[in-house]
């Protein structure tokens, strides 16, 4: 069994990753400043003796160094981030601190304390608005936001540690959905926003004609990919898309919600958002080849679970 330090453990992906690692018998130290994460996401984890939450900002000097020194993790899963693309545009300095400085702290702590493995939450945002689909890892990297640029830069910082014997896996997540995703902002993940609206009995708004597609991946699959990358013996360093390879339109998503909530009025349509891309789709083959990971939760099943359990 391994000792894993998870930054951003109270977040959407972090809390599911924590739950999964604990269920497998690993010991987890979670670090989170609760800026966008919530303690309530860790309610099940906090009951486990193999889990501890440290409320701290991983971008602050000395924080990760002290925790890694004390805990001696086998792996760090670095998920803490400024997660909002919009916020990264409004406040590039904050984006720099939370998405780049924090990564540098992870790298330094790993080197100083002999951590052999790092898993990093990268993003499909590093590819920008490419129309060359499905997106392969070799597809041109052309981020169009400070967020995407910081994720790409962070990959470079971490992959550079390979020369020092640290195995780094960068996970380029596509559109992740599932329980605990925060619908608070209009720019939150569309499924979390739709879920909340249907629960409230209110119609959703579709920007554009609803035929835009995304590669939606369940957070349970993402947590499993994180576990594999952090604990599977014998894997090599590298970066891979974490996606399903399947495109789902917003109209398809709405159809599923409408079946579960027949009394909610139909969606209203509004003009497409500025800068919105029509289609996004990843090629999942590299994660399969390098990690033995393949997404198994269908959008229909994932939505069904979200609707039933929230």
Site residues, ligand UD1 (CB under 6 A): 85-86, 125, 145, 175, 187-190, 193, 205-208, 212, 214, 250, 273, 276, 280
**Which segments of 165-265 does DSSP mark as H helices, in order?**
190-199, 219-231, 250-260
| Residue that has been written with the tokens 């959008």 in this structure | 299
| Bridge partner list, 118 | 76, 168
Q: Is 261 a catalytic residue?
A: no
Min dist. Cβ of residue 207 to ligand UD1 (A): 4
DSSP 30-45: EEE--SS--GGGGHHH
Specify the residue, 212 or 231, whose C-beta has the smaller distance to ligand UD1.
Answer: 212
Say if strands 117-123 and 75-78 run parallel, antiparallel, or are unpaired.
Answer: parallel
Specify the residue, 64 or 81, whose C-beta has the smaller distance to ligand UD1.
Answer: 81
- Radius of gyration (C-alpha) of the chain in whole angstroms: 19
Specify the residue, 188 or 288, whose C-beta has the smaller distance to ligand UD1.
Answer: 188
Min dist. Cβ of residue 38 to ligand UD1 (A): 17
Q: Which of 127, 147, 173, 198 is an active site residue?
A: 147
Min dist. Cβ of residue 24 to ligand UD1 (A): 28
Closest C-alpha among 173, 65, 83 to residue 119: 173
How is the beta sheet containing 167-173 ordered, strand by strand?
51-55, 27-32, 3-7, 75-78, 117-123, 167-173, 238-242
Specify the residue, 211 or 259, whose C-beta has the smaller distance to ligand UD1.
Answer: 211
Min dist. Cβ of residue 105 to ligand UD1 (A): 24
Active-site amino acid positions: 147
């Amino acid at each position: 069994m391994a000792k894993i330090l998870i930054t951003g453990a109270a977040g959407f992906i972090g809390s599911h990753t924590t739950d999964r690692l604990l269920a497998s018998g690993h010991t987890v130290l979670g670090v989170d400043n609760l800026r966008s994460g919530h303690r309530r996401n860790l309610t099940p984890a906090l009951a486990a003796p193999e889990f501890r939450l440290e409320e701290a900002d991983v971008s602050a000097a000395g924080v990760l160094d002290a925790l890694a020194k004390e805990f001696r993790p086998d792996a760090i899963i670095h998920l803490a981030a400024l997660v909002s693309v919009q916020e990264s545009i409004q406040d590039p300095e904050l984006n720099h601190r939370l998405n780049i400085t924090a990564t540098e702290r992870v790298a330094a702590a790993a080197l100083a304390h002999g951590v052999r493995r790092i898993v990093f939450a990268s993003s499909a945002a590093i590819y920008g608005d490419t129309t060359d689909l499905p997106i392969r890892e070799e597809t041109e990297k052309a981020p169009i936001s400070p967020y995407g640029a910081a994720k790409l830069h962070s990959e470079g910082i971490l992959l550079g540690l390979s020369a020092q014997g640290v195995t780094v896996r960068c996970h380029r997540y596509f559109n992740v959905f599932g329980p605990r995703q925060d619908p608070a902002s209009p720019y939150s993940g569309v499924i979390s926003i739709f879920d909340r609206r249907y629960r409230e009995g209110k119609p959703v708004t579709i920007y554009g004609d609803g035929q835009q597609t995304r590669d939606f991946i369940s957070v349970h699959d993402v947590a499993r990919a994180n576990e594999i990358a952090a604990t599977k013996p014998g894997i090599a360093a590298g970066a891979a898309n974490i996606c399903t390879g399947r495109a789902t339109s917003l109209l398809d998503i709405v159809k599923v919600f409408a079946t579960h909530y027949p009394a909610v009025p139909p969606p209203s349509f509004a003009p497409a958002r500025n800068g919105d891309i029509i289609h996004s789709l990843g090629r999942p083959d590299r994660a399969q080849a390098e990690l033995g990971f393949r997404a198994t939760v269908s959008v229909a099943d994932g939505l069904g679970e979200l609707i039933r359990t929230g």
